[in-house]
Structures are given as C-alpha cells and as structure tokens.
Amino acid sequence: MPSNSAAQASLPRHVAIIMDGNGRWARKRGLPRSAGHVAGVESVREVVRTAVHIGLANLTLYAFSTENWKRPLIEVNHLMALFRGYFRKDVRELRDMNVRMRIIGNRARAANDILSMIEEGESLTADNTGLNLAFAFDYGAQEEIVAAARKFAEAVKQGKMEPDSITVESFSQQLQTDGMPDPDFVIRTSGERRISNFLLFQSAYSEFLFIETMWPDFGRAEFLAALEHFAGRERRFGSVATEAVA
Ligand code: FPP
C-alpha cells in the first residue's frame, strides 16, 4: 500500500531501469561475474516488491539487450538459466501481488522453453490490475523503431493509409510499450552514462538519473531515494517554468 497520498502524487507514472554493474560488483568481491547476476536477481525481486508496495503504476526493467548476445556463450547461458529460474518461480508471486507482467523485445530468438514460460506468465497475470511490469528481454530500441516503421511502410504500400496520417501517437502505438505511458524517469546504475539502445523513442522527455550504485546493491532504500530525487525535479517538456511566464 502507498504510505501516503502526497508521496504517491509525486510518483513517476513509469520508471524504467537499466540494471548495470553486476559484473563489476562481483569482481570487487573476487567473485565470478555469474555471482553478480545471481545477486542482481535479488535486486529485481526487491525493486518489484517495493514498486508494488508504494503503488507504482508502471515499471520496465532492462534485463537483456539485443547486443547482450555478443557476450561469451557461458555468460549468456548463465543469464538464460537465471531468466528460466525467475520466470518459473517468481511468476506466482507476481500474480499474487496483482502484477501484470509482459515482455518487450524480440521473441524470435528466445529458447522455446523460455518463450513458453514468458507466455504463461503473461497469461497468468493478464487480468491483474496493479503494477504493469515489463521486462525488456532481447530488446533493442532501434530494432523496435525500425519494425514500427516497416509496418507503416507496408500499410502505405498497400494503400491502407496515407504517410501524413503517421503521427507521434500512432507511431507510439506500434511500439512494444503500447498501453504504458512513456517513462518519466529512467535510472541507470553503475555510473555509466549511456542509454544503450533502451526506449529511445519513449524517453524523449524522461528525467534521467545515473547513479554510482552497482545493480546488486540497488534495493528498496536506493529505489526510494531515487524516487525522492525524481520528486524534486522540475519537468518542463520544452516549455519554461510556470513562474517565468510573464
Ligand atoms: C548488467 O551488468 C546486467 C545485465 C546485462 C543483465 C541484467 C540481469 C539481471 C539483473 C539478472 C536477471 C534478471 C531477471 C529479470 C531475472 P553487467 O554484466 O553489464 O555488469 P558490468 O557492466 O559491471 O560488467
């Protein structure tokens, strides 16, 4: 339950997180990178539970990018094993927390069993009305935008629509985040200051927070502190501050 309505009023409608720093977290402890990813799953759990607890409406977590396939096979396989474990075990908890989960990304390259688990998770939670939780899995924003552009090109070619009728709104509806508001807050952990092909179209007016904390150290307290930081930001969407208008 949200702790108070004032805090909820300043909550972003959609938080998107680039979960970075698992490898460095592990290295600092003399552990293999895989241990960082294992610890990273615990942060996923804690952040999702916190999002539910405070009444956040939408949360997107960048779990695996289209570029992450280039990592050593052993690491890719380990990450896939973690996704299997998560989708197998945690989906019931998501259902019980009234979370509606979905995957955004390219489903064509996922292993069949992972794809089935994803589809089961989506249908098991489809009627839930609480947090909308999107995992960006084999996701790349450029690929997503190109796919939407292709759909429009095809429709125009077939004479089903005029190029002029393509708008920001209709374009957004062809993106995989359709139905979620654009993220108003994007957080990246681990000190890197890049967007790494994440929600490029949708983050046009997002506030960004780049923090030094490594993802496995990002838990409830860090998430709440980040949200407090967001509440203090002034958002202008290309305009000027209200008090500056004479
Ligand atoms: C970045 O750390 C993290 C990833 C590429 C994968 C994110 C995956 C998880 C948090 C765990 C699994 C998630 C779910 C949803 C079950 P990095 O390896 O790039 O770290 P580094 O930059 O320090 O090397």
pLDDT digits (tens, 9 = 90+) for 25-77: 999 999 999 999 999 999 999 999 999 999 999 999 999 999 999 999 999 99
Closest to 186 (Cα-Cα) out of 60, 54, 9: 60
Question: What is the helix, strand, coil percentage profile of the chain, to 5?
Answer: 50, 15, 35
Q: Whole-prediction pTM value?
A: 0.93
Q: What is the pLDDT of residues 166-216, one digit of tens each?
A: 999 999 999 999 999 999 999 999 999 999 999 999 999 999 999 999 999
User: Which architecture characterizes domain 5-140+182-235 according to CATH?
Assistant: 3-Layer(aba) Sandwich (3.40)
Q: If we measure between CA atoms, which residue out of 148, 189, 194 comes closest to residue 171?
A: 148
The count of residues in the chain is 246
Whether the predicted pLDDT of 237 surpasses 50: yes
Closest Cα to atom 24 of ligand 1: 23
Q: Which atom of ligand 1 is nearest to the CA of 65?
A: 5
Q: What is the pLDDT of residue 194?
A: 96
Q: Nearest residue CA, atom 15 of ligand 1?
A: 63
Compute the distance from residue 76 Cα to the ligand 1 centre, in Å: 10
Q: Does the beta carbon of 22 sit less than 6 angstroms from any atom of ligand 1?
A: yes
Measured from the CB, is residue 21 less than 6 Å from ligand 1?
yes
The reported pLDDT for the residue numbered 1 is: 41
Tokens describing residue 153: 């090109």
Distance CA(185)–CA(168), nearest Å, equals 20
The three-point CA angle 201-84-111 to 5° equals: 70
Helix, coil or strand: residue 56: coil
Please give the angle made by the CA atoms of 21, 26 and 32, to the nearest 5 degrees: 125
Helix/strand/coil for 132: strand
Enumerate the active-site residues: 20, 68
Give the number of the atom of ligand 1 that is nearest the alpha carbon of residue 87. Answer: 16
* Ligand 1 site, residue 100, Cβ cutoff 6 A: no
Q: Is 40 in the pocket of ligand 1 (CB under 6 A)?
A: yes
- Name which of 42, 41, 43, 24 is nearest 33 in CA terms: 24
Domain ranges of the chain: 5-140+182-235
Region for residue 8 given its phi and psi (left: phi exceeds 0; alpha: psi -120 to 50; beta: otherwise): alpha
